Amino acid sequence: MKSAVMKTIQFNNIGRGVMYLAVLLLGIYLQRTGLIDDILYYYDDIVYLGRQHVELTLISGGLAVPVGIALGIMLSRPKFRNLSEWTMQGLNVGTTIPTLAILALSMSFLGIGMLPAIFGLFIASLLPIVRNTYTGLLGVPAHLKEAAAGIGMSSTQMLLKVEIPNALYVMFAGVRTALAINVGTVPLAFLIGGGGLGELIFTGIALLNTQMMLAGAIPTAMLAILVDILVAGLALLLVPRGVNPLRN
């Protein structure tokens, strides 16, 4: 178990290193071919659309995290045990629907613009959060819950002091996956009129304009990495040391 975790950490580190290296090499290449100036030509667009992009992520992700965690907690309660199995099955089927299809479905109900984009992104990022919160909470060993109950904790105290802290690492993994999906899907929001850096990417592709496409693609990639680092950093800080494989 521990060595598996170590391996993922090492793999993450290597993966990240390779990504940094690729970005660096790309930069050198762009500079040498003079592409960097061509891309900076779109600076104002990058800033404007980048802000839209971040907005889409923040609003949809900011909604999905609390709602997903709340749903996950609710489904893990014994009261909802009958309901939860069905819901989880439903969510699992839901995860197989491509995000583009979710956006398209969302558009067919809500029309075009930012609202359907946010809604679609919200739905797409909700699933991993609910699933990880639920499985994380169910994975808290029964004897810990028995000890907590035997000591005289109320069910709320047990949830806050024992269950959530012990499930937090798994929950964070869900949030990380969700936000990775979210940031990765935001460019598609352009297709339903949601704006964002997708506008540069798709227009660039349509016009066979590589510079324009890269002006969208590079900031999108950087944003994705940034969000991943941020969430990983939060997990490192917030998950208590005794149950944090990254800190042992």
Partner 1 sequence: MINIENLTKIFDTKQGVVTAADHITMQVPEGEICVLLGPSGCGKTTTLKMVNRIVTPTSGRVLINGEDTTQQDTVTLRRNIGYVIQQIGLFPNMTIAENISIVPKLIGWNKKRYTKRASELLEMVGMDPGTFLKRYPNELSGGQQQRIGVIRALAADPPVMLMDEPFGAIDPINREVIQDEFLKLQRLLKKTIMFVSHDIDEAVKMASRIAIFREGKLVQYDTPDDLLSHPKNDFVKGFVGSDRALKRLQLVTVEEVLETETAVVKMNDSLSQALVKMDDAGYERAIILVDDARRPVGYISRSVAQANQGDCSKHYANLRSVVRLEDNLRTVASKMFTHDATWLPCVNSEGILEGCVTQRGITRHLGATYKAVQ
Stretch binding partner 1 (CB under 8 A), from 12-20, 37-45, 144-152, 171-179: 144-152
Stretch binding partner 1 (CB under 8 A), from 35-43, 56-64, 163-171, 216-224: 163-171
Q: Which is nearer to partner 1, 2 or 32 (CB)?
A: 2
Q: Does 143 bind partner 1 (CB under 8 A)?
A: yes
Q: Does 245 bind partner 1 (CB under 8 A)?
A: no
* Cα–Cα distance, 111 to 226 (Å, whole number): 31
Of 239, 230, 200, the closest CA to residue 57 belongs to 230
* Cα–Cα distance, 38 to 49 (Å, whole number): 17
Q: Smallest gap, in angstroms, from Cβ of residue 12 to partner 1?
A: 22
Q: Which is nearer to partner 1, 157 or 210 (CB)?
A: 157
Taking CB under 8 A as the criterion, the residue among 87, 135, 157, 203 binding partner 1 is: 157
Taking CB under 8 A as the criterion, the residue among 15, 27, 111, 240 binding partner 1 is: 240
Stretch binding partner 1 (CB under 8 A), from 59-67, 127-135, 151-159, 170-178: 151-159
Q: Does 81 bind partner 1 (CB under 8 A)?
A: no
Q: Is the dihedral of CA 56, 60, 62, 65 positive or negative?
A: negative
Q: Which is nearer to partner 1, 113 or 165 (CB)?
A: 165
- What is the SS3 assignment for 182-241? HHHHHHHHHHHCCCCCHHHHHHHHHCCCHHHHHHHHHHHHHHHHHHHHHHHHHHHHHCCH
Taking CB under 8 A as the criterion, the residue among 12, 33, 89, 154 binding partner 1 is: 154
Q: Smallest gap, in angstroms, from Cβ of residue 154 to partner 1?
A: 5
Taking CB under 8 A as the criterion, the residue among 22, 147, 222, 230 binding partner 1 is: 147
**DSSP secondary structure string, 74-93?**
HHHSGGGHHHHHHHHHHHHH
Q: Smallest gap, in angstroms, from Cβ of residue 150 to partner 1?
A: 4
Q: Does 78 bind partner 1 (CB under 8 A)?
A: no
Kind and range of the H or E element at 23?
Answer: helix 2-33
Q: How far is CA 233 from CA 7, 68, 109, 149, in A?
A: 18, 20, 37, 32
Q: Show contacts of 92-97: CB within 8 Å, 24+ apart.
A: 92/131, 94/123, 94/127, 95/127, 95/128, 95/131
Interface with partner 1 (CB under 8 A) = 141, 143-144, 146-154, 157, 161-162, 165-166, 168, 240-243, 248
